[in-house]
Structure 1
Amino acid sequence: MKILLTAINAKYIHSNLAVYSLKAYAKDPGVEIAEYTINQTVDSILGSLYERRPDILCFSCYVWNLDYVESLAREFAKICPETEIWLGGPEVSYDAGEVLRRLPKVRGVMKGEGEATFAGLCRAYRKGEDKGPEALMTRERELSGLQGITYRTMEGEIRENPWREPLDLSEIPFVYEEMELPAHKILYYESSRGCPFACSYCLSSIDKKLRFRDLDLVKKELQFFIDREVPQVKFVDRTFNCSHSHALAVWKYIMEHDRGKTNFHFEIAADLLNEEELALISHMRPGLIQLEIGVQTVNPDTIREIRRKMDLEKVERAVERIRKGRNIHQHLDLIAGLPMEDLESFRRSFDRVYRMKPDQLQLGFLKVLKGSYMKEMEQEYELQHTERPPYEVLSTRWLSYADILLLKGVEDMVENYYNSGQFSHTLEALSARYDSPFRMFEELWEYYRGRGLDQVQHKRSARYEILLEFAAGKLPEEKEYFRELLTFDYYLRENAKTRPEFAGDYQVDKDTLRVFYEWEARTGTYLPDYRGYDKNQIRRMTHLEYFHWRNQYVLFDYFVKNPLNHEARICKIDMCCLEGEEHEFS
């Protein structure tokens, strides 16, 4: 009997920890895994599943893939009516009965934590593996006593079995030890389950039983990733640093055993960081860890209403201290559509978080998840959301749909211009001309919409040209200044062999170029890593530019890049004496 665990991921680089964990815990040789993405067509996935010929087909369900899963379940039942279909995951756990009524060909739903439940399901089908009436009755008896499922009986009745108690996390096998590691994918890892907080929009608040994996196991498994030089490991712990001793032990271990290859991603509460943790973080290799910090809002009324606990001043101090260390990538989140927050309030939230200068600022939109307290409050909040996943907010008592559309536009501008990291110096200068950074992105979005630019896919250089024209329209007397800033930003990230049109004429004459590269090939003053290369080779691997706003020649060195933002090292060049001060990542 073949039991197929099926994951449909949001992106190719993602992997599904849940299905691997279920397989490892069940220890059933008949269990196989199939992974796809939502970028594939339903037809192609359906054909692949049909060719695998499973006897039991299980789907892992989330907000981003439920439409796919439902379509596949309906169609697969037509072509393989003998195959029994099961669903599991957060998107079907809290309305399992309704899911079965909506999908009459689905046999059952695994609710909540799935490892022990799936293992029990495997045993039930093994005991009733034969096709005779007695085997079917045996399977029914096994299912009737299996905790953690809602299922359809042989008579068609939908039966709700009790939920299963949470597992001891240390009992779950390490899923990667016996498998070939997927190339070019993020690996997910779990060292704790549950969350001590009760944020009303989050399903993690439902599980109050916070559990930690034994630290000896965690250290052994971290060493596995480090030894194999896995590019990135993303911890799925909801608030990784809610236990200081656990977080400190993990961070100390990866720092002490670091081999310079693996990056670890953690979702944390910045206001919980203590002095010992901050001191440790400050000494880490650049790129060893990255931190995702959910600020969500700065409105104190909203913070209380969503049952969130946060000391915003402590968040700001921690983020600032980490930022000054210049060794940690910080990703800060905001959520639009929360109760008590109108457009003006969200603007204040955005501006305050933007001024914390995160490496990325994620402007997300409220998802009204089944099972959450937010779902219970939707009438009181006059909360409208899409009927289909991901149940994203359309309007609230405080925020109109027109406001949401504006915020979507601002989100697009933030993604393209701020989060891309390609316009850092230009945006810093431009935002300084505004009282509100939000207003800058709002006006940029209005500029896009007014010219139909939002309807076009733009290549990278076109984004620079658009931003230059936008800045020049607002500040015509500073057009050349912003042209040079954009040119600086462009060459920081790319050793372009063809000069972009927006940059204008090249300001370094041929004689200056020849003299500099001949001298540098001979002395290695600015580029000691290039010893042994001739002047032409050095010239191809670097770029020399003159900037009037700096009154300076700047050399971009692409051999040495900042591991956090991938910007080239820059050297300030004194052409008079060919000696100058060198600055890395300035």
Structure 2
Amino acid sequence: MRVLLAAINAKYIHTSLAVRSLSCYAENTLSQRNGSSGKPKKPDIDFAEYTINQREEDILADLYTRKPDVLCVSCYLWNFRQVCHITENLHRILPGLPVWLGGPEVSFDAENCLEKMPQITGIMVGEGEQSFTELVGLYDGVAVPDQEAFSKVPGIVYRGGDGQIFRTAPAPLLSMDEIPFVYREENLEAEDIRHRILYYETSRGCPFSCSYCLSSIEEKVRLRGRKLVAEELQFFLDRKVPQVKFVDRTFNCNHSHAMFIWSYLKEHDNQVTNFHFEIGADLLTEEEIALLNTLRPGQVQLEIGVQTTNPAVIREISRTMKLDVLKRNVAAIKRGGNIHQHLDLLAGLPGEGIESFRKSFNDVYAMEPDQLQLGFLKVLKGSAMYRKAEAYGITASQEPPYEVLQTPWLSFADILRLKGVENMLEVYGNSRQFVSTLRFLIPLAGTPFDFFDRLSDYYKKKNLCGRNFSRLERFEILRKFAHGELLGRNPDDPDGRNTQDPDPTEERELDEHLVFDLYLRENCRNRPDWAGEYDNSKGLFREFLHQFFDKQQAGGFRSMSNSMHGELFYTDIMQTGYAEPVFIVFDYRKRNPVSGNAEFKVFRLAELQ
């Protein structure tokens, strides 16, 4: 009896923890059970991973070629449409193949899913390890289990012989130590996942009750034992896995658990692996912050859900968050300069209109995160928000990802406006390729939100939306936007529109900010016309090389010019306070592990003479 678990991931670099966990738990449990009964020791369980970017017909062909006797598919927001289409066509080809679904997309609406999807045999509800194991054991003993047999499997919703739908009692929650570690040395090679993102969990459940989130359904938090965690972390460290993402919800809700893991990572750092954690920043203690500030730059990145800074909205969504503490702790982590911080905002929450969201955006932008993600409320089945949506008057898409369309506080036009802000934020803010230029331009627009909002309007006005542009073209567009919309503005004009000739000093300063950003990320070979001639900088760069490197080190001007770049700046874009021009050298051999930008050093001209 061959059982196949299938996952359709959002990207190739992602891996599915779910199918691996179900497979490992079932293999371990059934091997022990079968060993004592004389059956073949190891059940025939395999899994296959695909991505949503693959053609559905290719996934269908691969599933057919694998010839499973039972197929189980993991369902999420991002893949459910493909799952529906593929299983429907697979049923036409193999009408006798039992197909089971599991995952959050079907767990909270299982009966309705079965009614709409006649090709599906049943659904595993909630945590699937025990349900899947019992199903495998059942099919291994009986080719076509009957209703009585299914009724003994915990945590499933299934279709009886007469088409009637039944639900069994939930499976009891497992201890975290009962869940096997899913990665093995041979698997890393055979599955070619060593250089992909590996997902790992040391806890399940969340102590909070945010109404938009499914994690709030299980308030009890179960922790994995420290001995197991240490062994498993060492597995990743020994193999120098590039990135491990913890899927624990509010990772630091247990102080001693978080301190143990962060301390272990500090003591056993391999100088390579990055660990990603989703945390509550307002829960961080001084002890935790002090420890985090000592970690290797780039060793850890933190994802922090803010969602809104409106106190009334925070209360309305049953969120527990001390905003003043969160701000203070985010600032303390930032001062360490060694950790990438990713802060989230959520548009469409009940009680938050466009002006309130504008303030939330500006508040979070002022915290200077390395990335600010502007997301949109998803009204998820099973969440408290789903139950309250009608009472709130929230309209959301009826298809995955169930994203908000409008609310009594936010019109569809407002949503579209925020989508434009989101796009510009991704291109010009979160890319971290325009940091200096944005620092100069945003005050001219008024606020960060106003800047990205006006830039979005400019893209629409110039028919630039939806097109792919090169990096240099993005610089050119930003420069034209600044010249046409921000520079030379009349300060008495409430709209801040361009009503007078641009100030040449501002124009020059803008270009120098752009040049700085242009070379901060990479040694640009195609110097744009607006960057000016390079002759003066080239001579100073030669002086720099002769003064600070001997010939053997430098390897000649041509060789060093590939790994370094020097640029003369006439305006004080670095706010050094120097009245005279400065020379900045960018060193691409050394990069900031948090931002990815080149290291640079500022020289006064007297230092190069």
2:442 corresponds to 1:436? no
Measured after TM superposition, the shift of residue 538 of structure 1 is: 1.5
Q: Is 2:64–2:90's contact at 8 Å kept on the other side of the alignment?
A: yes
* Counterpart pick for 2:592 among 526, 539, 562: 562
Alignment of 1:132-211 (within 5 A): 136=144, 139-177=146-184, 179-181=186-188, 182-211=193-222
* Deviation string, structure 1 residues 6-25 (Cα, Å, up to 9, x no partner): 00001111111000000000
- Corresponding residue of 1:133: none
* Counterpart pick for 2:548 among 510, 520, 532: 520
- Corresponding residue of 1:489: 517
Q: For 1:368, what is the secondary structure of its paired residue?
A: coil
Q: For 2:549, what is the secondary structure of its paired residue?
A: helix
**1:511/1:258 CA distance change after superposition, 3 Å:** closer
Alignment of 1:34-433 (within 5 A): 34-129=48-143, 136=144, 139-177=146-184, 179-181=186-188, 182-433=193-444
Name the CA distance, whole Å, in 2 between partners of 1:298 and 1:112.
Answer: 32
* Counterpart pick for 1:540 among 532, 551, 562: 562
Q: For 1:508, what is the secondary structure of its paired residue?
A: helix
Counterpart amino acid of 2:598?
Answer: A
Decide which moves more: 392-401 or 452-461.
452-461
User: Number of residues paired by the alignment?
Assistant: 566
Decide which moves more: 424-433 or 386-395.
424-433
Decide which moves more: 405-414 or 429-438.
429-438
Counterpart amino acid of 1:25?
Answer: Y
- Corresponding residue of 1:5: 5
Q: For 1:516, what is the secondary structure of its paired residue?
A: helix
Q: For 2:278, what is the secondary structure of its paired residue?
A: strand
RMSD: 1.5
Name the CA distance, whole Å, in 2 between partners of 1:364 and 1:380.
Answer: 23
Measured after TM superposition, the shift of residue 499 of structure 1 is: 1.2
* Deviation string, structure 1 residues 446-482 (Cα, Å, up to 9, x no partner): 1111110113211111111111111122112212211
- Corresponding residue of 2:37: none
Q: For 2:514, what is the secondary structure of its paired residue?
A: helix
Q: Is 2:584–2:600's contact at 8 Å kept on the other side of the alignment?
A: yes
Q: For 2:390, what is the secondary structure of its paired residue?
A: coil
Q: Is 1:521–1:538's contact at 8 Å kept on the other side of the alignment?
A: no
Q: Is 2:509–2:571's contact at 8 Å kept on the other side of the alignment?
A: yes
* Deviation string, structure 1 residues 14-73 (Cα, Å, up to 9, x no partner): 111000000000005311111000001111111111111111111100011100000011
Measured after TM superposition, the shift of residue 532 of structure 1 is: 5.9
* Deviation string, structure 1 residues 204-236 (Cα, Å, up to 9, x no partner): 111122100111101110000000000000000
* Deviation string, structure 1 residues 239-269 (Cα, Å, up to 9, x no partner): 0000000000000000100010100000000
Measured after TM superposition, the shift of residue 507 of structure 1 is: 5.1
Name the CA distance, whole Å, in 2 between partners of 1:346 and 1:176.
Answer: 42
**1:402/1:507 CA distance change after superposition, 3 Å:** farther
Measured after TM superposition, the shift of residue 177 of structure 1 is: 2.3
Name the CA distance, whole Å, in 2 between partners of 1:403 and 1:547.
Answer: 41
Q: Is 2:195–2:241's contact at 8 Å kept on the other side of the alignment?
A: no
Q: For 1:34, what is the secondary structure of its paired residue?
A: strand
| Long gaps (5+) in structure 1 | 130-135, 524-529, 580-586
Moved segments of 4+, more than 6 Å: none
Name the CA distance, whole Å, in 2 between partners of 1:448 and 1:509.
Answer: 34
Counterpart amino acid of 2:139?
Answer: Y
- Corresponding residue of 1:480: 508
Counterpart amino acid of 1:119?
Answer: T
Name the CA distance, whole Å, in 1 between partners of 2:22 and 2:607.
Answer: 67
Q: For 1:498, what is the secondary structure of its paired residue?
A: coil
Name the CA distance, whole Å, in 2 between partners of 1:84 and 1:225.
Answer: 36
Measured after TM superposition, the shift of residue 430 of structure 1 is: 1.2
Counterpart amino acid of 1:46?
Answer: L
* Deviation string, structure 1 residues 433-457 (Cα, Å, up to 9, x no partner): 3432101110111111111011321
Q: Is 2:4–2:72's contact at 8 Å kept on the other side of the alignment?
A: yes
Name the CA distance, whole Å, in 1 between partners of 2:537 and 2:399.
Answer: 60
**1:113/1:510 CA distance change after superposition, 3 Å:** closer
**1:509/1:150 CA distance change after superposition, 3 Å:** closer
Compute the TM-score of the two structures, normalised by the length of structure 1. Answer: 0.94
Measured after TM superposition, the shift of residue 510 of structure 1 is: 5.0
| Long gaps (5+) in structure 2 | 28-41, 488-501, 573-580
* Counterpart pick for 2:463 among 443, 452, 455: 452
**1:472/1:187 CA distance change after superposition, 3 Å:** same
Q: For 1:292, what is the secondary structure of its paired residue?
A: strand
* Counterpart pick for 2:481 among 470, 475, 481: 470
- Corresponding residue of 2:490: none
Measured after TM superposition, the shift of residue 317 of structure 1 is: 0.2
Measured after TM superposition, the shift of residue 381 of structure 1 is: 1.3
